[in-house]
Structure 1
Amino acid sequence: MMQSNQEPNHYRNGNAGVPAYTNGGGGGGGGALVPVGNGMEPSPASMGGNEGAGQVDPKALLNAFRRRWFLAVTVGLFCGGSAAAAVYLLVPPNYVASSIVYIDATPGTVLQDSSSFSSDFDTFKRTQMFRALQRVVLDTALSEPVRNSELKRYGFKTIGDLPLIKAQAFPIDWLEARLSASGRQEEFFAIKMEYSEKPEELAEIVNAITQVYYRDIANESKLLDKKRIAMLIELSDDYEQETKKKLDEIAKLGRRLGITSEEELSLDIAADNAFSRELQQQYFDLTIMRYNLKLETRITEKIGDTVEENPDIQAEMIETLIDRDPKMADLLVKADAIEANIRRYEETLKDTENNSVLKSARREQETTQEAIAKYREELRPIIEQKIRESGNAQNPDDLPAEERIARMDVILEQLKEELDNRKIQKTQIVTDSFELQQLQKEAAKLEARTDEINNKIDVLKIELGAPDRIKVAQWAEVPRIKDWESLYKKSAMAGLGVFGLFVAAIVWFEFQAKRIDTLGDVTGGLNLRIMGALPQMPRWASQKSSKAKKTAKSAFWHSVLTESIDAARTVLIRDANVESTRLVMVGSAISGEGKTTLSCHLAASLARVGRNTLLVDCDFRKSNVHRVFGVEEQPGLSEVLLGTASLEEAIKSPSDDGPDVLPAGQFNSQLLAALAQDGLGKIFEELKKKYEFVVVDSSPVLPVTDSLMVAQHVDAVILSIRRDVSRRPKVAATRDRLAMLGVPVLGAVVIGLDGETSGYRSGYGGYGYGSRYGYGYQYNRSPEPTPSQS
């Protein structure tokens, strides 16, 4: 329960600076108490006892196993053994049919380099193991024919007709649940199927699946190569047909040109060009002569004075002579042919912007036009020089100018006609030759592609003859004996699994109990100061036999216990001197936490140092104090509260040097009503007047309300906390309940948490409250317990 910062200080932790103590662990075991706390008040955050929520402490888990290992192992062994026996008796052993598949770590090739393939063989192997059991493989296997002659005799034609398959509503799912692929060896893996009956059918099913895998999946690359070969052959045929068309066009064009080869075409063109240049040269020279003669005639006729005085006539003549130059004529013919081809391409082609042939023709046209312009500029000064030289030449025939001009006109006309015819012919030849070149280029490309495809086809055909990378190393045989070893393993796994489950469950439930194991759980987790630490007494040390009491070890342990109690007594006396804490109740959260042992020893320790001390047993439902000190239970505090006895009659003095004892008396329902009234407070006030210290042994706080009614009348409470018994949430709840009543908590005395004696685990017995606390409960007297068992 969370407390606010404004809550009154109900946790009186020694305001005068009294330190907390624990067993210092002197030589040999117990030792005196030494300071371990700082006397600080608990913080409100720790009130709920939820520290460390959501975290698992390995040490706490180990302590939980230590406390419950015997129970966990015993239950685990019993349940695990039962599970193993059940599996062994109820699960029938299976027949196992298996085939073995071999995978070559290096792919088999003939021409190709095997290093180019993927080197991750493990991945390839796992992939093949997965693909071997794909649903498509299983589905195809159901249609495979039965090969076993015995099964054929019964009329089973396909795997799907077998009784094992026919009996299944979903055969593919059934097969997937019983098939497995495993590969322990590097280059091998097995396809297995397990079932408890019909071994012949098991082997047949496994072989069918192996056959489908090997045929359709394992060497899939060769199947793909065959498909590629078929596609490449079809593509090669298409290229060959296209190449044949181009060659036919080349042959047709060659016949039209009258040639049989490209060399012959080149020779014809060269001879024609030479003859054309000769004719053009003659035409050129004769034109110059006629021009000069005409000029002379014009001069005589007073048409003009000189050639220089008629620049227009001279320029026209020069341009005519330039066009008649043989080389210029060739360039002009080539330009005309290229232009004709471009027009033809533009008319026939759809994509005139991106066609490579058309782009090449346009580039060649630009180059030719640049050559024409350059040669025209080079030729112009040469012709002008020849015109001037021919004007000064003598007439060899001494004929009249008009006759000579007439002759020249006839010759020039004939030359012009011949040159025009040759120009037309040459233009057609150039056009056809250009088209021929383009066809030859296209045919060469097609032939190169066809050769490349044919080479690829040849390589793939050769690789088809390479050894298979995946082979069936062993087909499944009919199993004759059942796999008992697998059943043994299943039984062992079931037994170990159930054993581990129950051990883990018991340890986990014990861990969830959040029992106190260390001093840190008290000082840090619960924020309680430690007033003292009692050692965990071994059982033999608490036995009452004379032999045990006379041993040195027993004497040692009793001395350790006495010294530890005396240390707690010292803290209590210090608090009494500072805050007058004389009426102290010793309580615990639940039963079995040693509160009766602590109250008895604390009262005895106070009496041993001369303090007038009374031990009051307020554990009405399960009183034990009278047994410890050997006094009568009645009359007791119950009778005093009910008015049937006086205090003097109820108080007993067992010994001169020990504390007085007020036993609990007889428990009944009337006592609970008396507790709720103020009678107990008056009795305690009267006792405080007679005694220096009154130690009250109460009932556990959480199971019953008796202790809360008693706690309202005491000065303070000391909590008894016992290792492996006390639980942090319950101790926190006890602290909070006392705080709500305004009862101060001096601190806690821990049992079994000292460092040196923590190895002794026997300790005290259980308190034994449980459900026996209730109205009308009659306690069944048991033999007198030892102090360590309360």
Structure 2
Amino acid sequence: MQSNANRVNGNDRPIGRLSGPSAGANSQFDPWILWVTFRRNWLWAVPVGMVLASLAAFGVFKSFVPVYRASHLLEANSQWVVFKDVIPVIEDIAATEKPLFFNSIILDPVLADPALRKAPSLADPEYAEVSLRENLKVTSGGNRRHLVVSYEDSDGVAAATVCNAVVDSYLRQRDAFDQARMVKVERGLEPEIQRWQQEVEQRHHRVQKLSETLVGFAPGQKIAALENESNMTLMAELRSRISDLRVKIAIADASRVSAAGEAEFVPPVEAAVIPSAVVERHVPSEQEILNAINQDAKVSEALSRVAHYKAILLELEDSDIVRIRREYYEEMQGKRDEWTANLETLKAGARERVVAMLNERADAEYERQKIAAKARIESLKEGFEAQRKSKIEAARVEWQRELQKRYADEKKEYEALATQLDVLQKQYDDERSRLEQFGGASADLQLAIDEKQIAMDVLGKLKIRAAAIRTEKQQGGSVQTLAAATPPRIPLESVPTKKLIAVSGGAFCIPFLLGLLWELRVQRVTDSAAVDRSQSLAPVVGEIAQLPSGARNGRGRRIFEESVDALRANLFLSLDTKHTRSIAVVSSMSGEGKSSVASQLALSIAKATDQTVLLVDADLRYPDQHEIFGLEMGPGLSGVLSQTATLEEAVDTSLGSLLHVLPAGRLDRSPHRLISESSMRDFVDRALEKYSFVVIDTAPVLSASESLAVASSVDSTLLCVMRDVSRMDNVNRSMRRLDASGATIAGTVFSGVTAGQYAYRYGSYHYAIAGETDA
């Protein structure tokens, strides 16, 4: 016999495609397993998936609630009554106003309205704010002056109501900001107006004093004599520009005062509702009572005694020795019944103790939960208060951030105005000095008159600005409604197409996912490379194509015969197995192609060698070689091994001189008593005296251990693996058992390859015989 070590020589081969985990624990996921899963499971997975998809679609339809969207159109107000640029105009309403809509200043009044909380989207007090923020959308209205505010809800009327409520809250806050700013600017102008009134009076007194000094002179004529027309024009222009700048600076000062008040604004935040603590006392269930009774020491001991005697009785029954030890069997039955009755008594006695114990535990747990619930409520109160303060601070920071840009622009404008005023004032002072140098007292009088005029101009413009503010603030805020939201009549989706596709597709894939998980668990062999890649299996010595079922499929039958011939050639041309005369064909489980391989291999050897081959059916449990060839069962191998028939009497020679078949025969005792290593060695030796080759079909290794005795009695053993049927763990276990029994493993036979795959991998080269036509 060949050494078992020889089979490892061919393991160092190029690694091919391996499906899923069959490559070992360290292999990565192979997408090929997806195709294997579909190929193996589509017959049942497609109908089940369609049913699940239909149920899922029905569930989506039943649970589908149409969503309506109501929209409110806003416009930046650029109208004025008399005075333009008094009310601030928003240049890009979408960019500047969108963050304000999501501020707690706007949303908290909406959430605090009990009438609005009746909307389906705001009904849950815990998620009302989250739902409001998710369903509220603020987008551009197509240009920089328009803004669209929309809200989505399952109730169209509620969607329009909430949308309008949010916009109303925004407009109230925006109008309040604008009005407060205008009022503060107006109030900021009052001190400036009073100051300039005093300035006008002071300068008027100075003009009067200078006029008294120059009585009898015409100041206008004196100055006219000293100044030319260009100097008078320059002084007038400087006076006008200085007057305008001082008015602007006064207005800017008033605006900065109002801005300081806006920065200190504290946004309102709704107080959180603290949930009440509900704690229920646990009532012990009947199952808990039974479990506690079973854990009682005496009851537990009685249970173990009953189980012990039951196990003894079961072992006696399984080993079929009851009739031999009848008295012992009845004694064990009596003890079992005695302990069973004792068990019921102990359970009844333990129930009262167990119920009292469980109630004490339930009371203690109830008190503990009440204390924990009280502590949790206190913690929630602290957390909600901290959250409220955090929201106030966040709203304040957000509001200050919004004002920061506006303040920076106003500061730059104020600094620019102050710089211009300094420059103009210097020019005016220089011109005044020059005129005083050349004009004397008359020049002083004229300059005093000019200064009085400047003060009067500034005072007049300040009064005009205050009047403009009082007039224009009646016009309205900087943002106004262009079209209020109305209840929509058409939902956003009449049919939830996207959700239907997603849910139905997911449900349809569930059976395939289960199939994939099962395939990953069972680790089927899906390719011959899986066997070559495994270090614990013998290399593949042949791939067998599927035997076509159709009688007219001549090409498929020819490829099948070629694959069997290739197996035979590989077996007898190998240095390790070229002198083999006895071959056992085994498999891990039934249905893995061993019987077909054995019968066809025997035929191929007979045709190739032109010598008589004996095919032995050693599967005494479920024989099928006689059915494959349509033969009578006869005494068979069972008769030969039990010595009720000779080998010559049991062999069926009706198939011709090249192939003789020894059926399994009728089994009249345990296969283990018939098939042993010594009996099979004697049988094989006697068979080889008459036949050139012996091929033995065996029972599955994992199901019938007598096959190990057959495998250890022959020259070579072939382990059959069926594509998409054999499991890698079963094949590995079979290999270990064969190794332990001393069998010589010639290699692995990979069956079930499709004719197309076999032809693609190895080619198809037909030979023609005279008079033969290809089907």
Q: TM-score, normalised by structure 1?
A: 0.52
Quote the Cα distance in structure 1 between the aligned partners of 2:706 and 2:512: 38
Equivalent of residue 530 in structure 1, options 540, 543, 557: 540
Structure 1 residues 522 and 671, CA gap change in structure 2 (3 angstroms): closer
Task: Spell out, residue by residue over 1:349-396, the C-alpha distance to the aligned partner (whole angstroms, 9 max, x if none).
Answer: xxxxxxx9xxx9xxx9xxxxxxxxxxxxxxxxxxxxxxxxxxxxxxxx
1:223 aligns with 2:173: yes
Equivalent of residue 468 in structure 1, options 456, 481, 494: 481
1:650 aligns with 2:623: no
Offset at residue 570 of structure 1 (A): 1.5
Offset at residue 65 of structure 1 (A): 0.9
Equivalent of residue 499 in structure 1, options 489, 505, 508: 508
Offset at residue 184 of structure 1 (A): 13
Q: Secondary structure, in 3 states, of the residue corresponding to 2:115?
A: coil
Identify the residue that residue 607 of structure 1 maps to in structure 2. Answer: 606
AA of the residue aligned to 1:535: A
Identify the residue that residue 214 of structure 1 maps to in structure 2. Answer: 167
Structure 1 residues 234 and 697, CA gap change in structure 2 (3 angstroms): same
Identify the residue that residue 241 of structure 1 maps to in structure 2. Answer: 191
**Match runs of 1:315-354 below 5 Å:** none
Equivalent of residue 100 in structure 1, options 52, 70, 80: 70
AA of the residue aligned to 1:210: C
RMSD: 6.2
Identify the residue that residue 374 of structure 1 maps to in structure 2. Answer: none
Q: Secondary structure, in 3 states, of the residue corresponding to 2:550?
A: helix
Quote the Cα distance in structure 2 between the aligned partners of 1:241 and 1:743: 115
Question: Any conservation in 2 of the 1:629–1:654 contact (CA below 8 Å)?
Answer: no
AA of the residue aligned to 2:580: T
Identify the residue that residue 77 of structure 1 maps to in structure 2. Answer: 50
AA of the residue aligned to 1:101: S
Question: Any conservation in 2 of the 1:80–1:499 contact (CA below 8 Å)?
Answer: yes
Offset at residue 573 of structure 1 (A): 1.8
Quote the Cα distance in structure 2 between the aligned partners of 1:736 and 1:127: 75
AA of the residue aligned to 1:212: A
Structure 1 residues 555 and 236, CA gap change in structure 2 (3 angstroms): closer
Offset at residue 583 of structure 1 (A): 2.4
Quote the Cα distance in structure 2 between the aligned partners of 1:62 and 1:641: 48
Q: Secondary structure, in 3 states, of the residue corresponding to 2:23?
A: coil
- For these two proteins, the number of residue pairs brought into alignment is 534
Question: Any conservation in 2 of the 1:137–1:209 contact (CA below 8 Å)?
Answer: no
Quote the Cα distance in structure 2 between the aligned partners of 1:716 and 1:451: 118
Quote the Cα distance in structure 2 between the aligned partners of 1:631 and 1:696: 17
Identify the residue that residue 520 of structure 1 maps to in structure 2. Answer: 529
Question: Any conservation in 2 of the 1:12–1:745 contact (CA below 8 Å)?
Answer: no
Offset at residue 597 of structure 1 (A): 0.4
AA of the residue aligned to 2:487: W
Question: Any conservation in 2 of the 1:530–1:748 contact (CA below 8 Å)?
Answer: yes
Task: Spell out, residue by residue over 1:306-352, the C-alpha distance to the aligned partner (whole angstroms, 9 max, x if none).
Answer: xxxxxxxxxxxxxxxxxxxxxxxxxxxxxxxxxxxxxxxxxxxxxxx
Offset at residue 569 of structure 1 (A): 1.2
Structure 1 residues 469 and 754, CA gap change in structure 2 (3 angstroms): same
Q: TM-score, normalised by structure 2?
A: 0.53
Task: Spell out, residue by residue over 1:547-600, the C-alpha distance to the aligned partner (whole angstroms, 9 max, x if none).
Answer: xxxxxx444443332232222112222237866333222122332221110100
Structure 1 residue runs of 5 or longer lacking an equivalent are: 1-6, 15-38, 145-158, 195-201, 269-355, 365-437, 542-552, 761-790
Quote the Cα distance in structure 2 between the aligned partners of 1:239 and 1:182: 40
Question: Any conservation in 1 of the 2:585–2:597 contact (CA below 8 Å)?
Answer: yes
AA of the residue aligned to 2:606: A
Identify the residue that residue 695 of structure 2 maps to in structure 1. Answer: 695
Structure 1 residues 587 and 8, CA gap change in structure 2 (3 angstroms): closer
Question: Any conservation in 2 of the 1:108–1:469 contact (CA below 8 Å)?
Answer: no
Quote the Cα distance in structure 2 between the aligned partners of 1:491 and 1:562: 51
Q: Secondary structure, in 3 states, of the residue corresponding to 1:572?
A: helix
Quote the Cα distance in structure 1 between the aligned partners of 2:174 and 2:139: 30
Identify the residue that residue 618 of structure 1 maps to in structure 2. Answer: 618
Question: Any conservation in 1 of the 2:149–2:163 contact (CA below 8 Å)?
Answer: no
AA of the residue aligned to 2:518: F
Quote the Cα distance in structure 1 between the aligned partners of 2:636 and 2:455: 129
Quote the Cα distance in structure 1 between the aligned partners of 2:528 and 2:470: 85
Structure 1 residues 634 and 519, CA gap change in structure 2 (3 angstroms): same
Q: Secondary structure, in 3 states, of the residue corresponding to 1:666?
A: coil
Offset at residue 624 of structure 1 (A): 0.7
Q: Secondary structure, in 3 states, of the residue corresponding to 1:756?
A: helix
Offset at residue 54 of structure 1 (A): 6.3
Equivalent of residue 114 in structure 2, options 139, 142, 151: 142
**Match runs of 1:165-564 below 5 Å:** 191-194=151-154, 205-217=158-170, 220=171, 223-241=173-191, 244-245=194-195, 248=198, 251=201, 259=209, 464=477, 467-468=480-481, 471-472=484-485, 474-475=486-487, 486=495, 495-510=504-519, 513-524=522-533, 528-541=538-551, 553-564=552-563
Percent of aligned pairs with the same residue? 23
Q: Secondary structure, in 3 states, of the residue corresponding to 1:568?
A: helix
Question: Any conservation in 2 of the 1:517–1:723 contact (CA below 8 Å)?
Answer: yes
Task: Spell out, residue by residue over 1:481-527, the C-alpha distance to the aligned partner (whole angstroms, 9 max, x if none).
Answer: x9995489987876554333234433553465443444433434577
- Tell which structure's C-alpha radius of gyration is larger: 1
Quote the Cα distance in structure 1 between the aligned partners of 2:26 and 2:459: 81
Question: Any conservation in 2 of the 1:619–1:664 contact (CA below 8 Å)?
Answer: yes
Quote the Cα distance in structure 1 between the aligned partners of 2:454 and 2:72: 52
Structure 2 residue runs of 5 or longer lacking an equivalent are: 143-147, 220-417, 427-450, 761-775
Q: Secondary structure, in 3 states, of the residue corresponding to 1:11?
A: helix
Quote the Cα distance in structure 2 between the aligned partners of 1:235 and 1:84: 63
Choose 682-691 or 60-69, whichever is displaced more: 682-691
Structure 1 residues 107 and 736, CA gap change in structure 2 (3 angstroms): farther
Question: Any conservation in 2 of the 1:49–1:732 contact (CA below 8 Å)?
Answer: no
Structure 1 residues 466 and 561, CA gap change in structure 2 (3 angstroms): closer
Q: Secondary structure, in 3 states, of the residue corresponding to 1:620?
A: coil
Q: Secondary structure, in 3 states, of the residue corresponding to 1:573?
A: helix
Quote the Cα distance in structure 2 between the aligned partners of 1:250 and 1:651: 143
AA of the residue aligned to 2:71: V
Structure 1 residues 598 and 638, CA gap change in structure 2 (3 angstroms): same
Q: Secondary structure, in 3 states, of the residue corresponding to 2:665?
A: coil
Quote the Cα distance in structure 2 between the aligned partners of 1:581 and 1:655: 24
AA of the residue aligned to 1:139: L
Quote the Cα distance in structure 1 between the aligned partners of 2:655 and 2:579: 27
Identify the residue that residue 570 of structure 2 maps to in structure 1. Answer: 571
Task: Spell out, residue by residue over 1:170-203, the C-alpha distance to the aligned partner (whole angstroms, 9 max, x if none).
Answer: 5976995999679999877864544xxxxxxx56
Identify the residue that residue 9 of structure 1 maps to in structure 2. Answer: 5
Structure 1 residues 663 and 182, CA gap change in structure 2 (3 angstroms): farther
Quote the Cα distance in structure 2 between the aligned partners of 1:589 and 1:189: 71
Offset at residue 607 of structure 1 (A): 1.6
Quote the Cα distance in structure 2 between the aligned partners of 1:589 and 1:439: 119
AA of the residue aligned to 1:499: F
Offset at residue 617 of structure 1 (A): 1.8
Question: Any conservation in 2 of the 1:536–1:758 contact (CA below 8 Å)?
Answer: no
Q: Secondary structure, in 3 states, of the residue corresponding to 1:621?
A: coil
Offset at residue 744 of structure 1 (A): 3.6
Offset at residue 755 of structure 1 (A): 6.7
AA of the residue aligned to 1:655: L
Structure 1 residues 68 and 444, CA gap change in structure 2 (3 angstroms): farther
AA of the residue aligned to 2:5: N
1:58 aligns with 2:31: yes
Structure 1 residues 10 and 138, CA gap change in structure 2 (3 angstroms): farther
Structure 1 residues 520 and 99, CA gap change in structure 2 (3 angstroms): closer
Q: Secondary structure, in 3 states, of the residue corresponding to 1:655?
A: coil
Structure 1 residues 450 and 587, CA gap change in structure 2 (3 angstroms): farther
Task: Spell out, residue by residue over 1:710-743, the C-alpha distance to the aligned partner (whole angstroms, 9 max, x if none).
Answer: 3233333222233332344443443344344453
Structure 1 residues 476 and 241, CA gap change in structure 2 (3 angstroms): same
Quote the Cα distance in structure 1 between the aligned partners of 2:488 and 2:162: 10
